[in-house]
Amino acid sequence: MKRLLIALSMVLFFVCSTVQAEIQDTKERLIHDTLITTLTPHIANAVAGHYGELTQFDLFDAEFLDIKRQTEGGYSFTVKVQILPFEGAHNTIGKDTITMDVNTGNVRVIKYEHKDL
């Protein structure tokens, strides 16, 4: 019985430690969340333009597929982000990939791709 109690305590300790580590923000996660937050108005406008109406998407589902610096040492980037737009209670209507030209003075959508799921 004592061994079972010790084993159970160890399992609970490791599970709680793992959960706590997953909750903490890493620097990479903070940068991701900052960038997606900054680009959200541009993404929302592109989504509304594609669907012809305000269409929802979740920030936590957004995934950066590619980020490329356009010129070495410059601050102009091509950013490709994938979102899952939905209707109603999260009824996903597709997987959309938006490519943007991002520089110090402007964000411009250069390509919008939609795939049905």
Q: How far apart are CA 51 and CA 114, in angstroms?
A: 10
Domain residue limits at 60: 27-115
Is residue 17 domain-resident? no
pLDDT reported for residue 89: 84
Residue 15 lies in a domain: no
User: What is the tens place of the pLDDT at every residue in 5-26?
Assistant: 444 455 556 555 545 556 678 9
The total of structural domains in the chain comes to 1
Give the domain CATH number at 105. 3.10.450
Alpha helix locations (H) across 24-115? 27-51
Beta carbons of 83 and 96 less than 8 angstroms apart:
yes
Q: Are 85 and 57 spatial neighbours (Cβ–Cβ below 8 Å)?
A: yes
Q: Decide if 60 is inside a domain.
A: yes
Q: Say if residues 111 and 100 touch (Cβ distance below 8 Å).
A: no
Residue 85 inside a domain? The answer is yes
Low-confidence ranges of the chain (pLDDT < 70): 1-23
